[in-house]
Amino acid sequence: MKKRLAIYPGTFDPITLGHLDIIERAVSVFDEVVVSVGRNIGKQPLFSVEERIEMIEKTTAHLSNVRVTYFDGLIVEYAKKLNAVAMIRGLRAMSDFEFEFQMALVNRTLYPDLVQVFLMPHEAYTHLNSTIVREVSSFGGDISAFVTPYVADVLHKKFYRSSEK
Ligand code: ADP
């Protein structure tokens, strides 16, 4: 039988426990989940693509059916290339809905065969995003409830080192 592959695109700057929650739900319904770091023209990321990929790989190391990649360009074209049957997105609150709804309709027009799946994280993560994590960490706050110890360490080093310059 054909492998049912889903793609989960995002900026992941850095990956949080909210993203991980979505990935863990996705792997329970698909054969393989490709977490893909994309370039977002509206965002200037703190971490390089390589750093973000490494953090995702470390955070998902316990999941055998997760692959991490990078894509540039149209996500639907990349999904087609991978033969993905679905695209995963996380929905935290109503505030995500408007944007996600718009994107979903555009993507559906571009690639009607790609099913878009929206997953809700545990309520502990509905307030969480990468921006908050970067901000709290930049002020030396405790981010252990939001990211894995490895990611917390990478963030700490990033701010610690850059403040030494
Ligand atoms: P974007 O794609 O807007 O740059 P991210 O890379 O942070 O944002 O997120 C990728 C996907 O993960 C999006 O669908 C986003 O809604 C979802 N997501 C981000 N943070 C969480 C969270 N705490 N819980 C559930 N889903 C999340």
**CA dist 70 to 65, 76, 100, 101, Å?**
17, 14, 21, 24
The mean pLDDT value for 88-103 works out to 90
Domains (range + CATH), the chain: 5-127 (3.40.50.620)
Of 7, 8, 129, the residue with max ligand 1 atoms within 8 A of its CB, to mutate for a pocket test, comes to 129
Percent of the chain with pLDDT over 70: 98
- Burial class of 163 by CB neighbour count within 10 A (0 to 12, 13 to 18, 19+): exposed
Active-site annotation, residues: 19, 43, 92, 130
From the alpha carbon of 99, which atom of ligand 1 is closest?
Answer: 3
Give first-to-last CA distance, the chain, whole Å: 55
What pLDDT was estimated at residue 164? Answer: 55
Say what the pLDDT of residue 162 is: 59
pLDDT exceeds 60 at position 165: no
Instruction: Give the distance between the most distant pair of CA atoms in the chain.
Output: 55
**Cα-to-chain-centroid distance, residue 17:** 10
